[in-house]
Structure 1
Amino acid sequence: MMMGIRKSLAALAAATVLSGMAAAPATAQMLDPNDPDDFNRISARVQCGAEHGDEVVYHFSGNIYSRVPGERDRLLFRGEGMNVRACLFYDDPVRGPGYRIVSREVLFYIDPQTGEIVDTWENPWSGETVDVMQIHNDPVNNGPSWARDEEGNPSRRFGDFRVEGPYVFMPFEVPLFYRNPLAGDYQDYVGNMYHAMEIFDFAANADELFDPVNHPVAYPMVSWVRISQFMPWMEMGGRPGLMVFNFMGRKLPGGFEELPQIMIDEIRENYPEYETAPPLDDTRPNETTWTKFKLLTDRARAEAAANGETGESHSGH
């Protein structure tokens, strides 16, 4: 869903790997979101399981719209998505508790009328039928995230929780603006940068989230919104417009087996590695829709050239 992983992992050499959840206090008192160290522990409870390597699954579903100047927004697809992850926990004498996430994610485009996963799609703007590339990114790793910086000061995002009555609200925006891997070497001069925003809003019961003794694993809800350019497999070229993904979901107490059956069947048939998280020592660069599309397109072109064929195919499997 980011950091230089190898550089970040090197910084962990001085940290102690803990056997439990982010160095939770030995006493049974509730975690305090106003304390930087506890704030990090609470963040880890939102993202992770209770112990090193415990796998947890987030499921989210919703709608996917187009927004094109001069026309009504269109419901293009419904969607079913999941992220399977595991965490490593650390403790550092200066930076305090920390954690790192290793994960993979898939999102399937669903026909709003039939409820089936879409393999091909008729582009209503171009009239062309194109192959659909489901979102399947491996890995999507993050961190490490620390309670404090190198000088021991609270980390930048400390204090981003809002407690209202029995609930905790945790907003998290990710503005994205970077070189598009599908464009050339002159984006600073002619544009084509990838420009998007992802918005994650978590909500949880305060008693559950702040109490690691009686609730070793917290099960928050999540809202995810993405505003982005059209997907590359849609072959929209330079047409103006955006896509809006609006999804809601939660961390599943029952893990993978609690996903909708349509997801379980599709993952086991076509994306079996996405049933489990990456290895805890994973140092591969993160994938995005754009890097995965480039990988598959380059592979299809190479295979076609080797077979003396022309044209290309974009397969999501």
Structure 2
Amino acid sequence: MPGAAADGGAPTDPGPVYKTVTDKSAKLSLQTFGRPDGKDMVFRISGSVYANIEGNSLDPELRHGQKLFNIEGYNIRRLYRVPGTTQLYQLSREIVFYTDPADPKHVVRTWKNPVDGKTYPVVPINNDTVNFGPFPITSSYVGPPLQRLHDETVWTSDIPVRTDFGATLGERFGLVGGVYAAQEMFDFSVDDREVAARTKPGVPSGAMKTKISWSRTSPWAPFMCLAETDVRGQLTYHARSWSLSSYADIEPWLRAEVEKSHPLYKAAPGAPGPSENSWTSFYNKQLGKGATTWAGWCAANGRA
């Protein structure tokens, strides 16, 4: 069949490349990027968002440590091989809803800004797409350092993020210097039985049973209409994540919300493309890629 891989699979099938990997850590970390069989997998995300305010300077309207939201959602991803090469991509989309701080299953549609007293529409994290790669994969490919704690193998990924949106988008979002600065911190853990089962020779099927702890410290979310230049403070996200083998394994209430308003997020992307984060997604979808400004959006959407 024209375009098929030499082993009879699709030309984008990661399996033949994955089979060449020998390093234990590489096998484990690649299986968090996606299923080696090339099908979609999910990392379900559940956690909370807190106000992190220097000196508690906004009390009593907004106090340091106040829980502002729960967050519920997922990242849906797959491993993709560049046809005819040994290069792999992680391709994903992620949708995460801000939910009631007292009821994780209740999606909030509006939020009252306690600083200006106005109510704004809540925009979920909806990043299409979030891609990494390409990773050149050979038999010498190695993964991150591993540590064994009790009956689990663990590793970390700490990512400092700095993006000058003023320079790249021409939109400063009220950020100091127009620069988005954040810290993303991940802990991965896989138990001994799963490690043994998933590091054998060959191509495992399904998703590796993985648990993740995720924390992020970042500026106020764009929909909150709080300028970092004027309102001292940040958000701290603290969440847990766990692997699921497919979209069908997500709870019905969350799938219903996605299918009602964000059906694109039922599947991972089919090919590499530009990536989004919460800020570029807001720029693309809410600001019309610069058709309006962040300040203009806030002025138009804030309800007294």
Per the shorter chain, which TM-score range? 0.7 to 0.9
User: Which residue of structure 2 aligns with residue 296 of structure 1?
Assistant: 285
Distance 1:17 1:226 in 2: 33
1:42 has 2:34 as partner: no
Distance 1:301 1:142 in 2: 25
Q: Which amino acid aligns with 2:211?
A: M
Q: CA deviation at 1:101?
A: 0.8
Q: Which amino acid aligns with 2:97?
A: F
2:88 corresponds, among 99, 102, 110, to 99
2:37 corresponds, among 39, 51, 56, to 51
Q: State how 1:156-305 maps to structure 2 within 5 Å.
A: 158-180=143-165, 184=170, 191-212=177-198, 213=200, 216-217=205-206, 218-237=208-227, 238-253=230-245, 255-279=246-270, 281-283=271-273, 285-299=274-288
Count of residues in correspondence between the two structures: 270
SS of residue in 2 equivalent to 1:130: strand
User: Which residue of structure 2 aligns with residue 123 of structure 1?
Assistant: 113
SS of residue in 1 equivalent to 2:55: coil
2:77 corresponds, among 61, 85, 88, to 85
CA contact (8 A) 1:45 1:209 kept: no
Distance 1:19 1:234, change over 3 A: closer
Distance 1:41 1:89 in 2: 16
Q: Which amino acid aligns with 2:91?
A: V
Distance 1:160 1:101 in 2: 20
Distance 1:159 1:288, change over 3 A: closer
SS of residue in 2 equivalent to 1:211: helix
Q: Which amino acid aligns with 1:107?
A: V
User: Which residue of structure 2 aligns with residue 110 of structure 1?
Assistant: 99
Distance 1:301 1:193 in 2: 17
Distance 1:19 1:138, change over 3 A: closer
Distance 1:296 1:92 in 2: 35
Distance 1:184 1:88, change over 3 A: closer
Q: CA deviation at 1:291?
A: 1.1
Distance 1:45 1:22, change over 3 A: farther
Gaps of 5+ in 1: 1-15, 26-30, 304-310
Q: Which amino acid aligns with 1:124?
A: P
CA contact (8 A) 1:173 1:197 kept: yes
Distance 1:178 1:301 in 2: 17
Distance 1:170 1:91 in 2: 30
Distance 2:88 2:193 in 1: 22
SS of residue in 2 equivalent to 1:191: helix
Q: CA deviation at 1:20?
A: 1.8
Q: CA deviation at 1:144?
A: 1.9
Q: CA deviation at 1:282?
A: 2.7
Q: CA deviation at 1:206?
A: 3.0
Distance 1:19 1:185 in 2: 38
C-alpha root-mean-square deviation of aligned residues, in Å? 3.3
Distance 1:184 1:145 in 2: 31
Q: CA deviation at 1:147?
A: 5.2
Q: CA deviation at 1:166?
A: 2.9
User: Which residue of structure 2 aligns with residue 308 of structure 1?
Assistant: none
Q: CA deviation at 1:288?
A: 1.2
Q: Deviations over 1:165-193 (max 9, x none)?
A: 43110110111012125974899xx7231
TM-score normalized by structure 1? Answer: 0.74
Distance 1:300 1:164 in 2: 46
Distance 1:301 1:195, change over 3 A: closer
Q: Deviations over 1:239-272 (max 9, x none)?
A: 110100000020014x222223332111000000
Distance 1:66 1:135, change over 3 A: same
TM-score normalized by structure 2? Answer: 0.77
1:20 corresponds, among 15, 20, 32, to 15
